[in-house]
Structure 1
């Protein structure tokens, strides 16, 4: 089976995978402020634009026909544009790319979107050497979502991949214990266990009971050996407060809700100027504080519509999309994963790629045509 899959690989695929991995690697360097590259490349949207130019031959050359999604997308972009005008921030190139060019990502054929999913994994491998030396949450949440991305790709591939998924989740969990990223670890364990359950449940043979037993034993063993590490990470991180496990973020959110709610927000520097934090550590508070109540409402509409599209997809694909977007929102409750400012390059790109895959999957499910993710 694997030899047959290797035989289907084309030179064009290798070229796209290689160049995409390189561009995404550069995007990660900028996101993580490595080698001070963020001072040279100040606009991360340019990297996505270069990626789109690279993938022009892979596009269907038809703008997405989901007019409801486009309407919500344009309204969201318009609300951000108005916020920037009100707050006298005129970086309009970002809004232009977000409004006009990003939707072209949804036009790329799904086999190339799949290649982009793997390119994100490849581009992140070189950053593993920094584990233990860096405590940035960006590393943790990116690691968690990439681990879930690999597990999803395995889950949707042909054959039974339960053991491979379990290995990916365990390996990623070990990495996250070094990074001490509490939110990332919790989200990975939840999403990983759900995927493993789905994978075991999809196995109709008698081996399913065996997998359940092995899975339960493995969890017990992991909890026994890593109980002290996980409990310290979950409940006593940084030792800031014995009562506040949100490490001060709740104060930021409550101050914003009580004092600074406005239609168009207070600009990109709001959280730094008021709290000496670069962001709100919450995508909803981030949208509310920077871009205003209007953008938050439209963003919520976008998320609701995404889950409406997921319900149109059938089978394993529906479960995969539920896990990914559920992970994205869970991480976004405690970290900044909002794709507008592209703080974490790989996460923002994954959100856009999976949204493109979801659009194609929902369209094919509506026409009763089988959608093959992998």
Structure 2
């Protein structure tokens, strides 16, 4: 007979596998779902998923700690600044504010969320697989694969070498085929950082281990060669439009740097220009960057609290760096966020937002920190 805890996990897995399957279709804008829902209403999907999560966490006691209270203060100040901006630009929704300010902390910072962490991750992994039939050069699909694929590395690195290398090779192959530069670069940074740390931590490096690494790198190089056109097109195709005489960096960044430069020069204000600023000014809904999106839409004040929030999270990740799930997820989340906007406010990236809530909540409910000795 199943225990109550195992039964809860199985029910949550089934529910969220289905929910994430649907939400991934929304993220990919199948059947023009963005237009049907409305860009300004993307939070409704998160509201629905948060309510479902609450069914599993509400019966457990909410434990306050100094660390959690400090995080909540920063979180609420950030949300307050964002919603003041929204109010001034006639974009404020009381239900959206209550979702992020009260419901999300109450549900995801509950101490019980940590017991469901792996269940959420597996449900997301399963929910992404059916969309492989749509596989093509596609940035949005690449981001969905990258975030959960990198997060999954936290569990794969503990498996046998054959499983590790097979997973990484298949992962590389999928990302190369999407031709999404940010995902490819994110994966390269994380994979080689993992290899470096693994070698650095090994006190005695055996020749057989070096041989395995060389074989792995040769296999990766072979795959890269086979799909050379995809890789070259993804990473270097912008150089064809680069004008060395004018040093037009915007041609290499698909116009992102022009947009970011304009935000700094003429779009910066204390409380921002509203969520429609980028659409009205540049004809694009998002700035393709967390920092510039928040700066342009919500202003300097919101950006200030956002940066404090990010620093606070990353410091906590460092304290728990032995828990690789946090290291891998937040690394991928913020690296991708340098050239794409996937932050939870005003976005259709649903599962990355829920996973962000789950792992932030789990992170601040971890009991032990790694003590850093100062010499």
What TM-score range do you get, normalising by the shorter chain? 0.7 to 0.9
Which ranges in structure 2 are unaligned for 5 or more consecutive residues?
none
CA 223–137 in structure 1, closer or farther in 2 if over 3 Å, else same = closer
Determine helix, strand or coil for the equivalent of 1:58: helix
Q: Residue 333 of structure 1 aligns to a residue in which SS?
A: coil
**Structural RMSD (CA):** 2.8
Aligned-residue offset at 1:63: 5.4
Q: How does 1:22-61 map to 2 (within 5 A)?
A: 22-42=18-38, 43-59=41-57, 60-61=60-61
Query: Is 2:82–2:298's contact at 8 Å kept on the other side of the alignment?
Result: yes
Secondary structure, aligned partner of 2:341: coil
Separation in structure 1 between the aligned mates of residue 84 and residue 357 of structure 2, nearest angstrom: 23
Change in CA separation of 1:55 and 1:351 when aligned onto 2, cut-off 3 Å: closer
| 1:84 match | 86
Q: Does 1:329 align with 2:329?
A: no
Query: 1:106 — aligned with what?
Result: 109
Residue 181 of structure 1 aligns with which residue? 180
CA distance 1:160–1:25, shift in 2 (3 Å) = closer
In the alignment, structure 1 residue 208 sits paired with structure 2 residue 206: no
2:238–2:253 Cα contact (<8 Å) kept: no
Shift of 1:81: 0.8
TM-score (norm 1): 0.85
**Number of paired residues?**
355
Distance 1:50 1:81 in 2: 20
Give the drift of 1:57: 4.8
Query: Cα distance 1:72–1:101, how it changes in 2: closer, same or farther (>3 A)?
Result: same
Distance 2:138 2:209 in 1: 39
Moved more, 83-92 or 263-272: 83-92
Question: Once the 2 structures are TM-superposed, how far is the Cα of residue 286 of structure 1 from its aligned partner?
Answer: 0.3
Are the aligned partners of 1:72 and 1:298 in contact in 2 as well (CA < 8 Å)? yes
Whether 1:143 aligns to 2:131 is no
* 2:109 aligned counterpart, secondary structure: helix
User: How many angstroms apart in 1 are the aligned matches of 2:194 and 2:355?
Assistant: 18
| More moved, 234-243 vs 117-126 | 234-243
In structure 2, the CA distance between the partners of 1:9 and 1:189, relative to structure 1 (3 Å rule), is farther
Would you say the 8 A contact 1:151–1:195 is kept in 2?
no
Residue 372 of structure 1 corresponds to: none
TM-score, with structure 2 as normaliser: 0.85
| 1:303 matches 2:310 | yes
Question: Shift of residue 136 of structure 1?
Answer: 4.1
